[in-house]
Amino acid sequence: MDFIAILSIFVMACFVGYYVVWSVTPALHTPLMAVTNAISSVIIVGALIAAAEAGEGLAKWVGLGAVVLASVNIFGGFAVTERMLAMYKKKERK
Amino acid sequence: MAHLALSPWVAFAYLVAGVFFILALRGLSSPETSRKGNRYGMVGMAIAVITTLITHQIANIVEIGVAILIGALIGVTIARRIAMTAMPELVAAFHSLVGLAAVLVGWAAYLSPEAFGILDADGGINTVSKIEMALGIAIGAITFSGSVIAFAKLSGRMKGSPILLPARHVINLGTLAAIIVLTVLFAMAAPEATLPLIVALTVLAFVIGFLLIIPIGGADMPVVVSMLNSYSGWAAAAMGFTLHNTAMIITGALVGASGAILSYIMCRAMNRQFLAVIAGGFGAEASGPAREAREQRPYKQGSADDAAFMLKQADKVIVIPGYGMAVAQAQHALREMTDLLEEQGVEVKFAIHPVAGRMPGHMNVLLAEASVDYDKVFELEDINSEFAQCDVAFIIGANDVVNPAAKTDKSSPIYGMPVFDVDKARQVFFIKRSMGGVGYAGVDNDVFYMDQTMMLLADAKKMVEEINKALAD
C-alpha cells in the first residue's frame, strides 16, 4: 500500500473516532478508557511479526518482550472492562 | 521473507478487525449495548492476532505462545483483583505498557527491517518508514515515562503536588526540539550512522515524558490520564504506518481521538485551557500565604442523628459524590442509605461532575459497583436545575465542584468552572473529614458557612454508616 492510501485510512479513522467517541455516554468514560487501552494493544501485531520473523537475534527477544507487554494489556484491558460493564446491568433488588 | 501481507485478503482481515474496534466503541453509547461492544473488541483483537500468526512463517510458535500466556495470566489476575477505586492508576499503568510495547516494536523494526518489509533497494530502511518508526518510538517512550509518573502520583507512591523545575518550559521545549532534529537526522542518515541517533532519540523521549508530567498537580490528573490515553493511540497509529497495517492505524486513530476528546471534556469541565494544564503548576501556589490568611468563619456542625432526621423528612435528596467518597470506600454505605431513604418514600438522585474523581467516569463506576441503578445517576447539566426543588443536597467527598466562587469570584483559581448550584437547595449536608483541608484547587468554599449548611465532620464511610443506623431505627 502506498503512503497516501494509508494516510487516507488514518484520516478517515480519525473522523470516525471523533463521532463515535462523542456518542459515548459520560457514565461509561472509565470503561471507554479501559477498552481503548485494550484495543490499542493491537500493536501486538508488530510484536508478533518481530518475534516470529526476526530470526535469532536481539530483535526476536525485543519482539517477545513486546508480545508479553501487549498481552498483559489485551487480556487485562478487556477483562477489567468486562468486569466494570457487568456492574452497569440493571439489577433486580430484593 | 514471504510477505503475505501483500495479499488483499490479509489486508481485508485487518480492515475487518479495525471495524470491530469501531463497533466496540460504538457499543459504549449506552450501558445496554456496552457488553456486546466489549465482545466485538475481543473478536477484532482475535482476528488481528490470528491473521498475523497464520500469514507469517513462524519458527518459534512455542515461545510466542508462552509470551502470550504469561501476559494473559498477569493481565487477567490484575483485572480480577484490582479495586474499582484504584481504576485510575490501573489505567495509567496499562498506558505505560502500550507505550513501552510501541518502543519495543519500533526497535525491533529498526533492528530487523527485513522482517517488516521496509527495506530500500540499497539495503537501508526506507526514509518514510524511518520517520514513522522514530515518531512511534518517541510517542511510545513519552507515553511510557509519562504514564509511570501519572501512576506513581495516582497511587500515592509520589506526592500529588506539582514539582516545578526552574526554567522547565525552556528545558521541555529544548528537549522536544532536539527530538524533532534527531528524527530528521535519523531519517536522512546512512544505515551505519543511524544507531547513535535512534538511541539518543529514545532516551530523550523517555526523559521528556517524565519532565512533562512531574509539574502537573493532582487536580489535573483526569486530563493527564486522558492525554496519555490519546498518546498511546497515536503511538499505535505511528507503528501502523511503519507496518502498513490497517488494523493498527484505525485503532490508533480511534484511541487517539478518544483520549483527545476526553481531555477536551475534562478541560471544559474545569474551565481550563489544555495548554495551561500541560504547562503544569496548578495548585502549587495555594499552599502559600493565601491559606494561612484564611479567617475563621462560623459554621454549623451536625451529627449523624440530625442528618438522618432531616433526610427522613425530605421529599427529594441529591447526592454529590467526589474523590473523598472513593478514598473512604463509602459507595456501598451510600447505596444502603439510598435504599433506606427510598423505603421511606424519599426520592434520591446522584449528581456527577465530569471531573469528580481522578479520571473521567470514575464516580459512575464506583456507584455501579455499589449497585446504584444507572438511571438514578445524572450528569451536571442534566440535574443542575433541580437543586432549586430539592430538600437536601448531600455532598460527600466533593468540594471544588460545589464551590460558588467558581461563579462569582474572578480572582479564584477555579473561576469559570461549571459547578453544582447547591446554594439553591433548601438544606446542604457536607461530609468532610475536618474543616482544615480544602479541595485540590486549594481554595476556601463559601458553602461551608451558609445558613442552610450543616457540616458533618467525619470519615465519609463512618458518617454514612451512622446515618444508616439512625435511619433504620
Q: Which of B132, B142, B127 is nearest to B245 (CA)?
A: B132
Q: How many CA atoms lie within 13 A of B126 on its CB side?
A: 14
Identity of the residue numbered B148: V
Q: What is the pLDDT at residue B170?
A: 87
| pLDDT at residue B283 tops 70 | no
B354: left (phi over 0), alpha (psi -120 to 50) or beta: alpha
Global confidence as pTM:
0.89
| Residues B325 and B420 occupy one common structural domain | yes
Let me know if B400 is a catalytic residue.
yes
Q: In terms of residue numbers, what domain contains B27?
A: 1-81
The verdict on B256 touching A (C-beta cutoff 8 Å) is: yes
Query: From the centroid of its chain, how far is CA B97?
Result: 15
Q: Average pLDDT for residues B87-98, to the nearest whole number?
A: 94
Examine the domain organization and report whether B264 and B320 are in the same domain: no
User: Dihedrals φ, ψ of B165, to 5°?
Assistant: -85, 145
Q: Residue A67 has what pLDDT?
A: 96
Q: In what order do the strands lie in the sheet with B453-457?
A: B377-379, B347-352, B316-321, B392-396, B427-432, B453-457
Specify the DSSP element, H or E, that contains B383. helix B380-383
**Better-predicted residue by pLDDT, B162 or B133:** B133
Q: Which residue has the cell 510484536?
A: A47
Q: Clarify whether residues B328 and B190 are in a common domain.
A: no
Q: Are residues B330 and B275 in the same domain?
A: no
pLDDT score at B287 = 40
Counted domains in chain A: 1
Is A68 an interface residue toward B (CB < 8 Å)?
yes
Cα distances from B272 to residues B265, B277, B351, B414, B455, in angstroms, run 10, 7, 21, 9, 29
Same domain? For B350 and B244 the reply is no
Strand partners for B454: B429
Please state the rounded mean pLDDT for residues B221-246: 91
Say yes or no for a CB contact (<8 Å) between A38 and B91: no
Single-letter residue type at B142: I
- Report CA torsion sign: B59, B62, B63, B64: positive
Distance CA(B317)–CA(B5), nearest Å, equals 60
| SS3 state at B298 | coil
Report the pLDDT value the prediction gives residue B367, as an integer from 0 to 100: 93
Give the rounded percent of residues in chain B with a pLDDT score beyond 70. Answer: 93
| Pairwise CA distance, residues A25 & B265, whole Å | 12
Tell me B28's DSSP state. T
B107 and B217 share one domain? yes
**Predicted pLDDT at B437:** 61
A79 falls within a domain: yes
Task: Determine the pLDDT at residue A16.
Answer: 95
Segment B142-169 mean pLDDT: 86
Interface A–B counts its CB contacts (< 8 A) at: 372
The answer to whether A42 faces chain B, any CB pair under 8 Å, is: yes
Confidence class for position B6, pLDDT limits 50, 70, 90: low
Nearest-angstrom CA–CA distance, B218 and B153: 7
Least confident of A31-35, B78-82, B170-174, B289-293: B289-293
Q: Are residues B318 and B404 in the same domain?
A: yes
Task: Lowest mean pLDDT of B116-120, B189-193, B261-265, name the range.
Answer: B116-120
Host H or E run for residue B425: none
How many other CB atoms are found less than 10 A from the CB of residue B181? 12
Among B51, B81, B111, the domain-final residue is B81
Phi-psi region of B453 (alpha: psi -120 to 50; beta: other; left: phi over 0): beta
pLDDT, tens digit, 9 for 90 and up, residues B434-449:
776 655 556 678 888 8
| A-proximal residues of B, 112-171, CB under 8 Å | 112, 114-116, 128
Catalytic hit among B400, B444, B451, B473 = B400
Q: Is A57 inside a domain boundary?
A: yes
pLDDT 10s digits, B165-188: 777 788 889 999 999 999 999 999
Does the beta-carbon distance from B17 to A42 stay under 8 Å?
yes
Question: What distance in Å separates the CA atoms of residue B226 and residue A26, rounded to the nearest whole number?
Answer: 13
B290 is a domain residue: no
What's the pLDDT tens digit per position in B12-43?
Answer: 999 999 999 999 999 999 999 999 999 999 99
Residue A56 forms part of a structural domain? yes
Residue A47 lies in a domain: yes
Nearest alpha carbon to residue B280 among B162, B142, B160: B162
Give the pLDDT score at B294: 52
Which of B81, B108, B136 delimits the end of a domain?
B81
Distance, CA of B413 to CA of B430 (rounded, Å)? 22
Q: Which of B28, B56, B81 is the last residue of a domain?
A: B81
Q: What's the whole-number average pLDDT of chain B?
A: 88
In a domain, B291, yes or no: no
Which residue among A42, A67, A76 places its CB closest to the CB of B68?
A67
The domain tally of chain B equals 3
The answer to whether residue B292 sits within a structural domain is no
The alpha carbon of residue A21 is apart from the nearest alpha carbon of chain B, in Å, by 6
